[in-house]
Amino acid sequence: MASRAPTAEDHKALRDLRASRRYFATFRQILDHLPRVAADMRARNQLSEPEIEILATYLTQLGHTFHALSMKYLLVGRDTGRPVPPLTLDTQDSGFPVFNELLIMANDAQQAATHLDNMPGAETLKRQMVDQIVAERDIPTRLQFALAQRLYYQELARGELFWAQNDPRAIELYGRGNTGTRSRLLIHWAVYDSQVNLPTIYLMELEDSGRTPLLRDTRRWPEVQAHLMGQALGGLKLLTIAKGFDDSFDDLHPKSLRRLHLGPLYAHGYTRQSGPLHEVLSEAAASVDQNWALAWTDEILQSERVIEERAGWFGTVEREVFALDPFSGRGADIGATRMDRSIILPERPYQVLAEKSPPGFAQVTKYVVGTAGRVLRY
């Protein structure tokens, strides 16, 4: 993960039409491969079935978000009769659109219905484009822009997008039953981290010993949602988040907390990161659609035991003791039980990476996209 927040100098506006379309095509290609990576992680028991379903939902939403943005910027750089601001990327650290792009999109979504009511329908615009081409032998750029904007607002109105904040939701893994056992839930939420311009997904598994089941508790559940969203910062260690939650809710017991940072994206010609991957892509000299790499980090914190602490004069409360990475003394530094790093990239960049074998990549899991979209793990 990047250690500093991106600055304005790290941002780049994609003003060229072809560059903008290639960027979105590259992202669409990468997102199409990620479900195969998730399936491999499930087969190796690195993700549970509920976690896979949650991750797949967020990836789908992220795909819808990028599709909407691709419609918004479909004709950037063309004379459309009105200024079309370009997409702004964080080229130095993340390779993703800057946080402000998602804020603008959220504002547009609130007004999507009004815009659609005042726009001609898609079929009407297509007929007008054909008429202009046939009658005037002219490229209907302004009509193309109007259609692209309509498709943009249609995507926003449909919903199911990855927003700057995606509020906590939960699924019940098992209920209390008749034996008085505690229910167990899997809570998940996600943010587009403004500090590093990356989508970040959180998963927390917990036990509920409260009188009213959490999802039906009109007091606790909103408090839990607000608390978790307030702690969804990439700069906070998982240990800090989990202990803060454990201390704030005496009848909720976090057993594991997971955070997945999706990114950064390295794309030759678009991003300007330094380091081994930048050098690998430069030497690979592959075509634009085959000269990229997407990294992600999976942080995991697990409870290893429970202790009791005094509460008040006569009471006690349970507190979780979390396991930290015992190797190299790094557990306290990373604030997690373990941290796994992975990368997905096409064959040619992988060959260069394997030949160079830069330090620090031996423990990184590599997913290589081969012919016909086959993904192999190394």
| Range in 91-100, 177-186, 300-309 with the lowest mean pLDDT | 177-186
Each residue of 314-345: pLDDT tens digit?
A: 778 889 899 987 664 555 688 999 999 999 99
Q: Please name the residues in contact with 337: beta carbons below 8 A apart, sequence gap of 6 or more.
A: 300, 301, 302, 322, 323, 324, 325, 331
C-alpha distance from residue 126 to each of 27, 116, 141, 150 (Å): 27, 16, 12, 12
Q: Mapping DSSP to helix (H, G, I), strand (E, B) and coil, where does residue 187 land?
A: strand
Does the pLDDT at position 187 exceed 80? yes
SS3 letters across 255-270: EEEEEEEEEEEEECCC
Look up residue 318 and give its two tokens. 């349970």
What's residue 77's pLDDT? 76
Share of the chain above pLDDT 90, in %: 53
What's residue 288's pLDDT? 73
Q: Average pLDDT in the 136-146 region?
A: 85
Q: Average pLDDT in the 39-68 region?
A: 93
Q: For residues 210 and 187, what is the distance between their CA atoms, to the nearest angstrom?
A: 16
What's residue 273's pLDDT? 67
Q: Is the pTM value of this prediction over 0.75?
A: yes
Q: Average pLDDT in the 128-139 region?
A: 86
Q: Please name the residues in contact with 241: beta carbons below 8 A apart, sequence gap of 6 or more.
A: 231, 257
Do 153 and 120 form a contact (C-beta atoms < 8 A)? no
Look up residue 161 and give its two tokens. 């997008």
Q: Please name the residues in contact with 344: beta carbons below 8 A apart, sequence gap of 6 or more.
A: 30, 33, 34, 37, 293, 294, 366, 367, 368, 369, 375
What's residue 332's pLDDT? 60
What's residue 1's pLDDT? 43
Q: For residues 16 and 32, what is the distance between their CA atoms, to the nearest angstrom?
A: 25
Q: For residues 15 and 63, what is the distance between their CA atoms, to the nearest angstrom?
A: 22
Mean pLDDT of the chain: 88
Each residue of 227-277: pLDDT tens digit?
A: 999 998 888 999 999 999 999 999 999 999 999 999 899 887 777 767 788
